[in-house]
Amino acid sequence: MSNRPQPRGRDSARRRPGRVPLASSAFRLRILVIAVAVLFSVVGARAIQIQVLSAEAMAKEAADRMTVARDLPAQRGEITDRNGRVLALTEATVNVIADPTMIASNGKEPEAMRESDRQKAAVAPTEMAAIIARHTGGDAAEIEHKLRSTTTTNSKGEEVPLRYAQLARQIPSSAWVKLNAELNDGNYVGVFRESSPRRIYPMGTVASNVIGSMSEGKGLMGIEYSRETELAGIKGRDQFMTSPNGKIPLANQVLTPAVDGDDIQLTLDSDLQWMVEKRLAQRVDEVGGLWGVALVMDIETGQLLAMANYPSFDSNNPGSGQASDMGNRAVEVAVEPGSVQKLLTLSALLDAGLTTPDTTYAIGKTVKVGDHEVSDAFNHGAMDITTRGILVNSSNVGAITAARTMDRDVLRQYMLNFGLGSKTNLGLPGESSGSVPAEHMPAYQADSMAFGYGISVSPVQMATAVAAIANGGVYTAPSIVAGTTDPSGVFTPAATPETRRVISAEASEEMLGMMEQRTIHNMEQIGVAGYRTGAKTGSARIAGDTGYAGSQVASIVGVGPIEDPKVLTYVLIARPDTMGAGLGMAGPVYRDVMALALPRYGVQAQSDVPTEQLPLEVGGSPTPAPSDPAKPEETAAPAPSPTPSEAGR
């Protein structure tokens, strides 16, 4: 038997699964070529997708990532007084902002940074912070911390690069110029400016309650709030492309310019306003008052020349004032007018032909109103008093007796025609409409309304109503905005105010004569040397939620000159008690303001001012004037009902 190996056939030589013979290098090469071809096919397909099929979308996505859009603030309009003196203006200030991510890379792409860039970026925040703090007054350590904070968290909780940090607010543009020059000298990058104008009120507290103030770039109170749209203008938009080195000069840019706001001219006389504010504040403090309001109005036009509030605040720093003093009580408070209301009641009777200045009324010591007895402040028994005497002596009993000759709803309609019960639409926020009893009111409400209770008014409402009496019987809606000037310099006057006749010219003349008699009755206290003036005083308790509180408002309103009324002044002072009344409390302010305003507006003084006191009662001599100006000349008793609701409030 032979031991020689048997030859193997083709089938006997079995290859191990999955192995390629070492000699099959050509096969391996083919596999490599196929793999490379597949890879290039995928890359090519992706390139086609990016550059052809999705080119527009991909380009837009890239552009969006590089695009920055910033608002361009409009220049806010100025507020001036009637003579063009600036009451509110905008100073060109800027915010200093930074791009911490840019600073961290010294303005380069991270992969393109050199060693010198890294060294510069490491020390730049410290050096830049020192420069910025020196020009802005900020804290260098705090600024450096912001410059080194290069990331933030977005709304999805993801950490993203921080491209915006505010370093200083509203620094003068001149300070920015110096700051930027020093940064440029050091070749520092990543610090910019953004416009952030600052509102300035150069006269401080003057007319602050009228002008108002701003917060977060928008009007917060007063004219700043109510005329926000005109003053603010329309902001613009700057959209541009940027890179780590900053704005790309030749890239796409869309610029929509801002439209500056209009300037607003008020009817106020800032000099007179300042003087009225000072005198009002002095008097409120002297008598321990809670607050005071003083109005001066041009009778013919309805324009307000002064609208003073005290206590007040400084529009430059509204946070330093009390919240209760931020508004404008001249339009916001609604109080019962007290005996000043008798001007309107008696004017209605004169116009209706139901009385004359010399008509007499038989009155007793008191008059029954509902379940209560109403009396007068001056002592008297049964007497025959003239209509003139009712006004001069401020007789509550007489006013009620005379008013009962008129239908209650007719009397109410006269009050509505005088503007009571509705807003004057002066254009100041928070204006009160006051209240007038409803139609078909019970008798006691009409009686209360006749002498100043059961009805409420804002100071500007009552001032306008009395101005209508003095203006020949024609009501002229009040105004405080004279007009606007657009950015091109075109002035547009305010719309002509609404006018309507309320009483006849004859009734107006008769009432003015009786008002002058009221001044003559207390010439020493409220007369204005060299001028014929007419006035009416008043006082009224302040109503609370459960009835009348232990405080009151004392007031006086007057006009001059009687022969051709030009100026009206109305002063109200609220007290924490019921001491005093209009003559003693508010009278001194009224007299001093009228003495300032009349000559200021061209009214010539005269030497023959009448002083004769006409009869105030029948069969007796004129009632003597109070010798003590601090003594109440009247007591406008609360409405006879025990609750505010019954009193028509």
421 and 460 belong to one structural domain = yes
502 and 381 belong to one structural domain = yes
CATH number assigned to the domain comprising residue 137: 3.30.70.2110
70 and 143 belong to one structural domain = no
Mean pLDDT of 253-275: 93
Residue 25, in any domain of the structure:
no
Residue 567, in any domain of the structure:
yes
What the block records as the tokens of 387 is 């209509």
pLDDT band at 360 (very low <50, low <70, confident <90, very high): very high
579 vs 476: which has the higher pLDDT: 476
Give the residue from 166, 196, 226 where a domain finishes.
196
Question: 385: left (phi > 0), else alpha (psi -120 to 50), else beta?
Answer: beta
497 and 414 belong to one structural domain = yes
140 and 219 belong to one structural domain = no
Q: Return the pLDDT at 383.
A: 95
Mean pLDDT of 603-625: 80
Residue 386, in any domain of the structure:
yes
Task: List pLDDT tens digits, range 122-135.
Answer: 999 999 999 999 99
Q: Return the pLDDT at 4.
A: 54
Task: List pLDDT tens digits, range 440-494.
Answer: 999 999 999 999 999 999 999 999 999 999 999 999 999 999 999 999 999 999 9
Residue 14, in any domain of the structure:
no
- Domain residues for the domain of 245 are 62-88+197-261
Q: Return the pLDDT at 146.
A: 95
253 vs 356: which has the higher pLDDT: 356
485 and 569 belong to one structural domain = yes
What's the CA gap between 120 and 116, in Å, rounded? Answer: 6
256 and 287 belong to one structural domain = no
Give the residue from 196, 214, 238 where a domain finishes.
196
What's the CA gap between 389 and 363, in Å, rounded? Answer: 12
CB within 8 Å of 492: residues ≥ 6 apart: 483, 484, 485, 486
Closest CA to 585 of 530, 534, 634: 634
pTM over 0.75: yes
Residue 472, in any domain of the structure:
yes
Residue 591, in any domain of the structure:
yes
Q: Which 8-state DSSP code applies to residue 47?
A: H
What's the CA gap between 500 and 503, in Å, rounded? Answer: 9
CATH number assigned to the domain comprising residue 203: 3.90.1310.10
Closest CA to 238 of 73, 99, 98: 73
Does residue 590 register a pLDDT over 70? yes
Q: Return the pLDDT at 649.
A: 25
CB-side neighbour CA atoms (13 Å) of 9: 2
Q: Return the pLDDT at 646.
A: 27
SS3 (DSSP) at 24: coil
What the block records as the tokens of 395 is 């007789």
Q: Are the beta carbons of 439 and 408 closer than 8 angstroms? A: no
Residue 620, in any domain of the structure:
no
394 and 280 belong to one structural domain = yes
624 vs 563: which has the higher pLDDT: 563
Distance of CA 281 to the CA centre of its chain: 21
Does residue 599 register a pLDDT over 90? yes
| Range from 42-46, 396-400, 428-432, 588-592 carrying the lowest mean pLDDT | 42-46
What's the CA gap between 176 and 193, in Å, rounded? Answer: 8
| Range from 334-343, 576-585, 629-638 carrying the lowest mean pLDDT | 629-638
Q: Return the pLDDT at 60.
A: 56
Q: Are the beta carbons of 172 and 180 closer than 8 angstroms? A: no
Q: At residue 252, what is the residue type?
A: N
pLDDT band at 644 (very low <50, low <70, confident <90, very high): very low
Residue 490, in any domain of the structure:
yes
What's the CA gap between 86 and 79, in Å, rounded? Answer: 6
Give the residue from 151, 177, 196 where a domain finishes.
196
143 vs 197: which has the higher pLDDT: 143
Does residue 538 register a pLDDT over 50? yes
What's the CA gap between 526 and 518, in Å, rounded? Answer: 9
Q: Are the beta carbons of 595 and 622 closer than 8 angstroms? A: no
What's the CA gap between 519 and 516, in Å, rounded? Answer: 5
246 and 115 belong to one structural domain = no
What the block records as the tokens of 248 is 């790309």
How big is the chain, counted in residues?
649
pLDDT band at 642 (very low <50, low <70, confident <90, very high): very low
Tally of domains in the chain: 3
Q: Are the beta carbons of 223 and 266 closer than 8 angstroms? A: yes
Q: Return the pLDDT at 258.
A: 85
Closest CA to 332 of 206, 464, 428: 428
Closest CA to 134 of 90, 188, 178: 178
Task: List pLDDT tens digits, range 172-187.
Answer: 999 999 999 999 999 9
CATH number assigned to the domain comprising residue 410: 3.40.710.10
pLDDT band at 647 (very low <50, low <70, confident <90, very high): very low
Mean pLDDT of 513-528: 97
Closest CA to 315 of 196, 480, 201, 228: 201
Mean pLDDT (the chain, rounded): 88
Does residue 378 register a pLDDT over 60? yes
413 and 499 belong to one structural domain = yes
What's the CA gap between 415 and 401, in Å, rounded? Answer: 18
What's the CA gap between 593 and 601, in Å, rounded? Answer: 12
Does residue 423 register a pLDDT over 80? yes
Does residue 266 register a pLDDT over 70? yes
What's the CA gap between 596 and 301, in Å, rounded? Answer: 19
Q: Return the pLDDT at 29.
A: 79
Does residue 138 register a pLDDT over 80? yes
Q: Return the pLDDT at 371.
A: 86
The percent of residues in the chain predicted with pLDDT above 90, rounded, is 71
Residue 43 is inside which H or E element, if any? helix 25-48
408 and 347 belong to one structural domain = yes
507 and 590 belong to one structural domain = yes
Q: Return the pLDDT at 59.
A: 55
pLDDT band at 390 (very low <50, low <70, confident <90, very high): very high
